[in-house]
Structure 1
Amino acid sequence: MSEKIAEQYKVKTEPFYRPVSNEVELYQAAYARRMPVMLKGPTGCGKSRFVEYMAWKLGRPLITVACNEDMTASDLVGRFLLDKDGTKWQDGPLTTAARIGAICYLDEVVEARQDTTVVIHPLTDHRRSLPLDKKGELVEAHKDFQLVISYNPGYQSLMKDLKQSTKQRFGAMNFDYPDAVLEAEIVAKEAGVDADIAKKLVQIAHRARNLKGHGLDEGISTRLLVYAGQMIAEGVEPLAACQMTLVTPLTDDPDMRETLEAAVHTFFVS
């Protein structure tokens, strides 16, 4: 039964990912020891794609949880549900991953309440177990189970940062946007645009990223560049495509929007 469940979480096709440094080798070594891993980096720089790629490369099921401030411990570990036959226990995604030997990826983990994140602690040390207090069961993690978390330290307040008692249970890897040449290659491949358009989009992004902390909370992500390229590939005029994907999502401040629009005009108005 667990093999059937695991199969549905397998990454069936190879995700497109271009290594920036030695992150693939580092992750493989960490997985060989089932070390919990923390990925730190800005929004849309490829953290989630990297985890998906590594799950495919290692041939392991991947269960992803998008964390949010309303998430409770029961959302992670499971709860009793009422049906026509009475009550029955329903495993949460963390419990399912621990049972079947999946990689469990908690995306933007600091968005969850701190009293929720402590439930991962027994899975991230020598115990490798998950107590289900409501059910009275102790789940011993499958030998292939691994926990991966990610967050963006750039905009977290002290109230939403991870506790040291949590941080020091993980090996950590820093992620950032790729260099200009590699990022242009990624945009061209993912969006289906030519190299010249991809290069221009990346140049716009670099200008916007220089404004981080000077009017922008975050710069333009690689993900948004792909969106812009996809719109252009669909025949949308570049100025309109960039307005929709690179300007409007980032800010509502009129001055900052004007600055971003000027950067777009620099590269797409001859």
Structure 2
Amino acid sequence: MSEQLDAYRVAQQPYYRPVADEVELFEAAYSVRMPMMLKGPTGCGKTRFVEHMAWKLNKPLITVACNEDMTASDLVGRFLLDANGTRWQDGPLATAARHGAICYLDEVVEARQDTTVVIHPLTDNRRVLPLEKKGELVKAHPDFQIVISYNPGYQSLMKDLKQSTKQRFGGLDFNYPEHAVEAEIVAHETGVSADVAGKLVGIAERARNLKGHGLDEGISTRMLIYAGSLIAQGVAAQAACRVALVRPITDDPDMRDALDAAVATFF
């Protein structure tokens, strides 16, 4: 395998707690190099899952955090000026396709649609990437796979994937795990007791019930790990929850009071 990809190897096993058959389904999809689409709320474990699968499959992982300013050149590559004149530099998508990595486009709908269409030739039977500025057609390495993720709850009609893009992917739905599993994850990741982890999950579940009723998004597993990490460092539980769970998700005074009250019932 190319030495260029050594930096993208997942050196240590990322902790991931399967909640259904997603690991087996992803392995089957990779075996036929099916492009995969992971859908679910923010902070529920999509990125950790991809890291875990890259480690399990022993494949390099190149992650791209998509944004509305990202151009097609940011993905495929561009000519750069240096002391010797111009030279071509592959973008992350071209690097993954050329050398055989998993390319993960995180929150892909944040990118403009004219940018995301560059993945189309890689996501059907052609498995090629045209580098038009360079006049080269990159044939995808046999190990290459493309994975995308997004949060369906956040999307508007202005920000959604075209059907012509969606139908090129297999799909896996993600959500926050059930109470016992999520508590196990929080306890493992932070070192807090099972009792404290369970209370944190209880707070999150109350907040998630408010989604669409004053909250745009509920408290994520990622946020619970932040709160647990603060508690493990000796921060008082209510203060840790205020900093890591309540203040980041709302500026509304009434909603903050409601969430603070929920915290107080558990701690």
TM range (shorter): over 0.9
Q: Distance in 1 between matches of 2:154 and 2:82?
A: 42
SS of equivalent residue, structure 1 residue 147: strand
Q: Distance in 2 between matches of 1:168 and 1:249?
A: 35
Match of 1:235 in 2: 234
TM-score by length of 1: 0.98
**CA offset digits 1:217-253 (Å, max 9, x no partner):** 1000000000000000000011110000000000001
Matches within 5 A, 1:43-122: 43-122=42-121
Match of 2:22 in 1: 23
Q: CA RMSD in A?
A: 0.6
Q: How many angstroms does 1:84 deviate by?
A: 1.1
> Partner letter of residue 209 of structure 1?
R
Matches within 5 A, 1:88-237: 88-237=87-236
> Partner letter of residue 33 of structure 2?
R
> Partner letter of residue 82 of structure 2?
D
Question: Would you identify which runs of 4 or more consecutive aligned residues in structure 1 move more than 3 Å?
Answer: none
Q: How many angstroms does 1:111 deviate by?
A: 0.3
SS of equivalent residue, structure 1 residue 14: coil
Kindly indicate whether residue 8 of structure 2 is the aligned counterpart of residue 5 of structure 1.
no
SS of equivalent residue, structure 2 residue 239: helix
Q: Distance in 2 between matches of 1:71 and 1:102?
A: 21
Instruction: Count residues in correspondence.
Output: 267
Q: How many angstroms does 1:5 deviate by?
A: 1.1
Q: How many angstroms does 1:9 deviate by?
A: 0.9
TM-score by length of 2: 0.99
Match of 1:249 in 2: 248
> Partner letter of residue 237 of structure 2?
P
Q: Which runs of 5+ in 1 are unaligned?
A: none
Q: Distance in 1 between matches of 2:194 and 2:44?
A: 20
Q: How many angstroms does 1:40 deviate by?
A: 0.2
Q: How many angstroms does 1:47 deviate by?
A: 0.2
Q: Distance in 2 between matches of 1:134 and 1:155?
A: 34
Q: Distance in 2 between matches of 1:263 and 1:246?
A: 11
> Partner letter of residue 203 of structure 1?
G
**CA offset digits 1:137-186 (Å, max 9, x no partner):** 00000000000000000011110010000000000000000000000000
Q: Distance in 2 between matches of 1:262 and 1:234?
A: 23
Kindly indicate whether residue 36 of structure 2 is the aligned counterpart of residue 42 of structure 1.
no
Q: How many angstroms does 1:263 deviate by?
A: 0.5
> Partner letter of residue 46 of structure 1?
G
Q: Distance in 1 between matches of 2:88 and 2:252?
A: 49
SS of equivalent residue, structure 1 residue 159: coil
Match of 2:31 in 1: 32
Q: Distance in 1 between matches of 2:80 and 2:92?
A: 15
Q: Which runs of 5+ in 2 are unaligned?
A: none
> Partner letter of residue 164 of structure 1?
Q
> Partner letter of residue 229 of structure 1?
G
Q: How many angstroms does 1:59 deviate by?
A: 0.3
SS of equivalent residue, structure 1 residue 63: strand
Q: Distance in 2 between matches of 1:192 and 1:79?
A: 45
Identical aligned residues as a percent: 75
Q: Distance in 2 between matches of 1:96 and 1:3?
A: 10
